Amino acid sequence: MSKQPVWIRRRWYFDRVCRWIIVITFVVFFTSCLNHGTLDIQPRDARIALGESRLFRALIAGREATVRWTASAGSISSEGVFTTPNQPGVVTITAESESGFGSREQVNVTVTPSVSSVTISPLEPALLVGERLPFSSVVTGRGNPAQGVKWSASAGVMQDDGNFIAPSQPGVVTITATSLEDSRRSAQTTVVVRRAVGGLEVIPAQVRLTVNAVQGFEARIAGTDAAEVRWETSGGTITVDGRYTAPTAPGVYTVTAISLDDPTQRAASSVTVTDPSIALEVSPSNVILEAGSTLSFTANVSGTSDTRVIWEVSAGTITANGVFTAPSTPGIVTVTASSLIDPTRTASTTATITSAASLQGLLFHDVDADGSRDNLEPALAGWRVYLDLNDNGTLETNEPNAFTDRTGVYTLPSVPSGTFTLRHDLKPGYASSHVATQRTLLRPQVVGGTPATAGEQPFMVALLDSRINDPFAAHYCGASLIAPRWILTAAHCVFERGAVLPPSAVQAALGVTRLEGALSRSGIRRIVVHPQYNPSTDDNDIALLELETASSLQPVALLEPDQTALAAPGSNATVMGWGALSAGGAYPRDLQRATVPITTTEDCQAAFGSRVTASMICAGMPLGGVDTCQGDSGGPLLVNTPSGAPLFAGATSWEKGVRNPANPACTLEPHPLRHGSRRSWDAELRPHTPSR
């Protein structure tokens, strides 16, 4: 066999090598082409909460592939562990094959806000077996609450909408609500399920025992016989069959029965254990105190080493140490001390609360120095009267004092208990002729009258001192409602120390017949005194008071000039008021009314002289018995029409000789619209002239 040339052999080897290189290159290229686009990332369409991490995998034909991982936000490790960024949003994760042929794949990851909490309502309800109850949930946080929750229950049936059906057996069921947005967030509550049978009860339900006493208890379920229970007690001992022994210490204890069939059912009895050897005594006893004053009480406790007590009062206040502060109103207060270790052992005493006295009196010019006030002896206005507490004859800053008003009356409110000397300043040229004594304020008043019927005279008005709460004590004059916003009274009722009282000093009680309780009071807007009023002679003693709020009560009609015959001498008239029932006597709470005859001006002038003018009406019993007296000032003098309707003829002005057979009883000023006097008022009243 001949040998081929060398160049031929070399070429053959070269060809064979080139062919194999071409084949291998083609296989690699073909394989790369087959694998391009088949790179897969798992999981796809992932939702990840803020702050969480997730592992991603790159697969080719179901097998792990070696790739380079990148993320558009957050971070991802070379192993594919992705950590969310700080803000929610959509993040693109890319896996690129490391084969060098550019094979890559991407997925979008939704980063969601996190759920912070889940709450359930209602919490810890109690149900009967088989009973239904809807539950609700609230998902809070930065997630999507609309995703809702998944409900589950350890027993019974829990529906997707939160409706729970209790199981057929009693017990405790756990209800769970898990966020669908974030399964790590959930909430739980428990449901106590009990049998639908009658309630468990302990007999007796309450009992009082002495220390170490024995008492038997029984447990029953309504509608059945005795129930099987387990007994417990907060003090003392009790056997399995309910035999209870009280402890040695007094107090209030509880005996409890717990059903063995349904431990959720229980009932209790209250046991009060007392110690008869404990006794208490409160001192001082039956005391009398002034309103607002203080006093220390003590309790003597015997029969025990624990002498602590609990103090209680029916009014006022008392400290734990027994320091009592009296209330501001008079009355009887009960002070009680109870043993701290045995509250059933108590002792009580009473404290009578009194108010400080109000001292009133009259200062006048005793012309004849006989020690008593005679006719026409004038009152002394503007004189200071005071209580000489230390009896040194000198007024000091802490001593109650007051000035007399235009009628000579002084009032010293809130006078403390005790015996004191009453003094007044002496002006030059005067000497004291009578030792001042406490007496009732003198005001004109219906004497010999009868109580008026409630609602009979709706126009009747009581003028009250706005500084005094008690209407009985505050009343000082009468008045009449003559228009919805206007009342008429005597000028001297609103005139003091040469000046008209401020409207705030006076209040009006309209349509009342009894002065007591919380009467409705109307404020006064302004006071208009008759322009020709003379305080010295009481001529034109008329004033109008405008109410702050119009009244709905029926006003009294005024006597017109063409009706003067109804008030002629010899006619009967009616007077009304709350004044004293006799001169210097007691005052009634009920409105009094009386019928009096109208007398002639001449008869009045014969009794009282020139003080009686032609503009006045004089009325009263010449022989005494029925008239006005202190307290009726400003009240109405009424005459009747032929049909019996009342007409206002005048206002009570002044009186002399109450029940004095020598003189008529009183004089009355006619209303301000008579005898043409209305013209003199126009300037004062315009544009508020009262309508009729």
Active site residues: 492, 541, 633
Q: State both tokens at 240.
A: 């399995």
For the sheet with 237-238, list strands across it.
214-216, 243-245, 237-238
Q: SS3 for 26?
A: helix
Long-range contacts of 295-300 (CB under 8 A, 24+ apart): 295/323, 295/324, 295/326, 295/351, 296/321, 296/322, 296/323, 296/324, 297/322, 297/323, 297/324, 297/335, 297/337, 297/349, 298/322, 299/337, 299/347
d(CA 208, CA 270): 8
Query: Do 292 and 331 form a contact (C-beta atoms < 8 A)?
Result: no
- Residues making up the chain, counted from first to last: 692
Query: Do 251 and 342 form a contact (C-beta atoms < 8 A)?
Result: yes
Q: SS3 for 145?
A: helix
* Helix/strand/coil (H/E/C) assignment for every residue in 640-669: ECCCCCEEEEEEEEEECCCCCCCCCCEEEE
User: Amino acid identity of 612?
Assistant: V
d(CA 108, CA 72): 10
d(CA 409, CA 424): 12
Tracing tokens 């562990």 back to the chain, one arrives at 81
What's the distance, CA 426 to chain centroid? Answer: 52
Q: What percent helix, strand, coil does the chain show, rounded to 5?
A: 10, 45, 45
Rg value, the chain, Cα: 52
DSSP element (H, E) containing 602: helix 601-608
Within 13 A of 664's CA, how many CA atoms are on the CB side?
Answer: 25
Q: State both tokens at 444.
A: 């004109």
